[in-house]
Amino acid sequence: MGIKENLNEIRKGIPEGVELACVSKFHPVEAIEEAYATGERVFAESRPQEFVAKVEVLPTDIEWHFIGNLQTNKVKMVVPHATLIHSMANERLFDEVEKCAAKIDKVQDVLIELHVAQEESKSGFTPEEAIELLSDEFIAIHPHIRICGVMGMASLTDDEAKIRAEFKAIKATFERLRDEVFDGCDYFCEVSMGMSGDYPIAIEEGATIVRIGSSIFGNRNY
């Protein structure tokens, strides 16, 4: 099936209230244009240079999400264009995003990345680290950052029970942060979890954003 047919099929399984972020990293501009023509407007990239190159040539009404590992020296490339940065994985990154957003008088929407999978390669904060980090003082000294929720990934495994348990842990951390840190903040509402291989489970466990790439665009063009 082509991109249009893939999207039609995926859309059937995504309920109202859950946003589809089309993961277009490693795929050409033409593939994004094809998805755009079907009505998709939210696209996600993971490499700053590729991200900026696509922003410059694609329609201006696209909502760009940045989902990859973000080095502090590349933040200045991403902040001017990103609607939402999913991968806020360390404290230095918060400081750098604050600095770059302040320079252009922007409040940057972000998600705090959680590490719940057992794989060492996954980055982000443990649930306890996230709770500890997000003090009133920390939020106050980053006025150009708006933390809108959490992002996390499950382990790469065929064990559905394990995947489900990890998504439950992400959602539970979101709820704890919402109740203990962001009480009364309507903007703290996003749970970004679930990719091509596991998004149906993520939706069942409370995802509000799913990040789907290969099921839409096919295998990556490295």
pLDDT range class, residue 47, cuts 50, 70, 90: very high
Give the per-residue pLDDT at 36.
98
Q: Is the pLDDT of residue 56 over 50?
A: yes
- How far are the Cα atoms of 102, 156, 159, 182, 195 from residue 98, in angstroms, in the given order? 6, 32, 39, 19, 28
Percent of the chain with pLDDT over 90: 94
Percent of the chain with pLDDT over 70: 97
pLDDT range class, residue 222, cuts 50, 70, 90: very low
Give the per-residue pLDDT at 58.
98
| 14-36: pLDDT as tens digits | 999 999 999 999 999 999 999 99
In total, the chain counts a number of residues equal to 222
Give the per-residue pLDDT at 221.
57
Which tokens is 66 given? 């940045």
Which tokens is 67 given? 């989902």
Mean pLDDT across 126-154: 96
Q: Is the pLDDT of residue 54 over 80?
A: yes
Give the per-residue pLDDT at 151.
98
| 81-95: pLDDT as tens digits | 999 999 999 999 999
Architecture of domain 3-217: Alpha-Beta Barrel (3.20)
- On the 0-12 / 13-18 / 19+ scale of CB atoms within 10 A, 149 is buried
Q: Is the pLDDT of residue 65 over 60?
A: yes
Residue 5 makes CB contacts below 8 A (sequence gap 6+) with none
Mean pLDDT across 136-156: 96
Q: Is the pLDDT of residue 103 over 90?
A: yes
Give the per-residue pLDDT at 219.
79
Q: Is the pLDDT of residue 150 over 70?
A: yes
Q: Where are the domains of the chain?
A: 3-217
pLDDT range class, residue 119, cuts 50, 70, 90: low
Q: Is the pLDDT of residue 121 over 70?
A: no
Q: What is the mean pLDDT of the chain?
A: 95
Q: Is the pLDDT of residue 118 over 80?
A: no
- How far are the Cα atoms of 54, 97, 154, 164 from residue 158, in angstroms, in the given order? 34, 36, 11, 11
